[in-house]
Amino acid sequence: MAKPLVALVGRPNVGKSTLFNRLVGERKSVTSDIPGTTRDRIFGEADWNGVDFMVIDTGGIEVWQPRGVRDTSPLAEGSVDFVPQIRSQALQAVEEADVVVLMVDAIQGITAADQDIAEILRKTNKPILVAANKADNIERSNDAVEFYALGVSDEVFPISSIHGTGTGDLLDAIVKALNVPPTPHPIPDEDDENAVPEDDDDPSIKIAIVGRPNVGKSSLLNRLIGHERAIVSPLAGTTRDAVDTHLTWNGLPITLIDTAGIRKRGSIEPGVEQFSVIRAYKALERADVALLILDGEEGIAAQDTHIAGMIKDANRSVVIVVNKWDAVEKDEHTLTEFTKQVKNRFDFIGYAPILFISAKTGQRIHTVLETATRVQEERLTRIPTSALNQLIREATAKHSPSGRTGQKLKIYYCSQVRVDPPTFLFHVNNRNLVHFSYERYLENQIREHFTFIGTPLRLSFRNREREPRAK
């Protein structure tokens, strides 16, 4: 059964993201004193008194005024360009939610924007709770009674999302409004030897969409899932948080992770953008497959190869996706020439498949998940030990390893010790004799027979222990 949803809404800079992070127990949403930091909907899991529910953080709802007049401070730099989209995302969260928490600022009191948002919420016929944030002392808590005038809730909850004051009472009210039974969480019997530990791992294939800013990552996400899950704009840097979207494709559970554009290190602004890039790194670390998005119009940039290096260092599988291919002027040689460029610039991940798509028009978009899931299958492939050793014997017979200082490398035995990523252990006479060029040769021989498309291979060499002589 799907978990109930609780949406946090309100005007910009009332502390929604701070409360969200407290409820879900981690700093998942980027927070800042600058209004408009949160743009997309961010989902997190929370529980209280045995009731599990999802919390949705949203961007601030700013009632658009044609003359450009605001009754609050300006939005975060650049966010003013996304006011209609941010509002749309927040209202969609309200539509999806079972309970809505309207957050207001206990310091500023009721504003015209609060009244306009309350008017919108009154039309939803959903349980509304008012949380008066920044009530850090008794005086502000007492002043919070003025928010009863909004007329959307029978009770106002003075809270401090930073310090946690009053959040327990708010959570009690949320659970009561959800009106769902507690979720049973059985305690495992440590004395039961036959007990099977519960596996809480997400079984879905995690696919991270990465690349530099403005290459079409969010557009690709929206095209893949068929609706506006993330805000899309031609301006660079629209996505701030790593956004997870769950879907089922051909019976397979998939989690798509949209990330902020990764700029060159010297171009990253301190503060919000810096935290956004850190979250992109973390998203890559928890992914199985990375979609490296390139801009077909602009061509390959140095930052593209830097991001590819990050993917390789993280041992993630990868698919290179050339986007905006519809906008490229082409002749009969364009595709071949561009493919050569990609292979030359990304020769260190030469195993990566290359796709040419248009997220805008949907051109060849069906190949993206097809290829990503195939790559994940390759990542989980295990080679039988007998077949692997037969391959290695033939490879060494065809190209014998060169020796050093009179000693020659001998490979006695090889086995695949793990998948995800595929890892191979070679038992040798002296691992110091393994030259990187011969290691690359062995990897190429394995790939020639078993492909492992899009997937990095790890080769490890261990000295074979000598058996003690019989006395």
The per-residue pLDDT string of the chain (471 residues; one tens digit each, 9 = 90 and over) reads 467 889 888 888 888 888 988 888 755 444 444 444 444 446 678 888 888 888 888 766 665 444 444 444 443 444 444 445 545 555 666 777 899 999 999 999 999 888 888 888 888 888 999 999 999 888 888 989 999 999 988 889 999 988 888 999 999 999 999 988 776 554 434 333 333 334 445 788 999 999 988 899 888 988 888 755 544 444 444 444 556 788 888 888 888 988 877 766 544 444 444 445 556 667 787 899 999 999 999 999 988 998 898 898 888 999 999 999 999 998 989 999 999 999 999 999 999 999 999 999 999 999 999 999 999 999 999 999 999 999 999 999 999 887 666 688 999 999 999 999 999 999 999 888 998 899 999 999 999 999 899 999 999 999 976 544 554
In a shared domain, residues 357 and 237:
yes
Q: Are 442 and 391 in contact (CB under 8 A)?
A: no
Position of tokens 């009332």? 14
| pLDDT at residue 334 in the model | 94
C-alpha–C-alpha distance, residues 246 and 255, integer Å: 5
| pLDDT at residue 13 in the model | 82
The answer as to whether 470 is a domain residue is: no
- Tokens standing for 187? 């305690």
| pLDDT at residue 83 in the model | 46
| pLDDT at residue 116 in the model | 85
Question: In 211-357, at which residue ranges do the beta strands (DSSP E only) sit?
Answer: 243-249, 252-258, 289-295, 317-323, 354-356
In a shared domain, residues 30 and 140:
yes
In a shared domain, residues 367 and 389:
no
CATH code for the domain of 50: 3.40.50.300
In the chain, the number of structural domains is 3
The answer as to whether 188 is a domain residue is: no
In a shared domain, residues 263 and 340:
yes
The answer as to whether 276 is a domain residue is: yes
The answer as to whether 57 is a domain residue is: yes
In a shared domain, residues 227 and 373:
yes
CA 238, 240, 243: angle at the middle one, nearest 5? 105
In a shared domain, residues 212 and 160:
no
In a shared domain, residues 21 and 151:
yes
In a shared domain, residues 139 and 249:
no
The answer as to whether 197 is a domain residue is: no
pTM here is 0.60
In a shared domain, residues 49 and 169:
yes
Whole-number Cα distances in Å, 181 to 43, 48, 51, 152, 204: 22, 11, 7, 25, 27
Number of other CB atoms surrounding residue 369 within 10 Å: 20
| pLDDT at residue 285 in the model | 78
Domain range spanning residue 420?
385-463
- Tokens standing for 106? 């206990």
Pick from 133, 101, 135, 97: nearest CA to 118? 101
Pick from 210, 258, 220, 229: nearest CA to 362? 220
Q: Are 19 and 133 in contact (CB under 8 A)?
A: yes
C-alpha–C-alpha distance, residues 186 and 176, integer Å: 23
The answer as to whether 185 is a domain residue is: no
CATH code for the domain of 425: 3.30.300.20
The answer as to whether 183 is a domain residue is: no
Whether the link from the prior residue into 422 is cis, omega within 30° of 0, is: no
The answer as to whether 200 is a domain residue is: no
In a shared domain, residues 12 and 109:
yes
Question: In 298-386, at which residue ranges do the beta strands (DSSP E only) sit?
Answer: 317-323, 354-356
In a shared domain, residues 19 and 37:
yes
